[in-house]
Structure 1
Amino acid sequence: MPRKILDTCIACGSCAAECPVECISEGDIYVVDTDVCIDCCACEAVCPTDSIVEA
């Protein structure tokens, strides 16, 4: 299942840098493009605030 980023995101950029398919984009908080996400969980593993969960 693709991931989503909760509003507890601190916009540190760790997740975007780790994503192998570049499906995470920057905004007020980071956002996952669920159509591109391959569910590798790499972003979830590096999130310092545990803000990335299953969509």
Structure 2
Amino acid sequence: MPQLDRIDRAILTALQNNARLSNKELAAQVRLAPSSCLMPAGAHRRPAPPPRR
């Protein structure tokens, strides 16, 4: 798993507290522009792939 920086950890924490946050609400909580949250938040919201057999 890649290392998470401060921003990624803040996004992940906010989404763990409330996974239904809009991108605008998430950006306000982590103090970033909404456009800066699109890619990282999308990566954290994607479900994990199923385990290989």
Where is the strand percentage greater, Structure 1 or Structure 2? 1
Higher helix share: 2
TM-score relative to the length of structure 2: 0.26
The structure that has the greater radius of gyration is 2
Greater relative CO (CA pairs within 8 A, separation 6+): 1
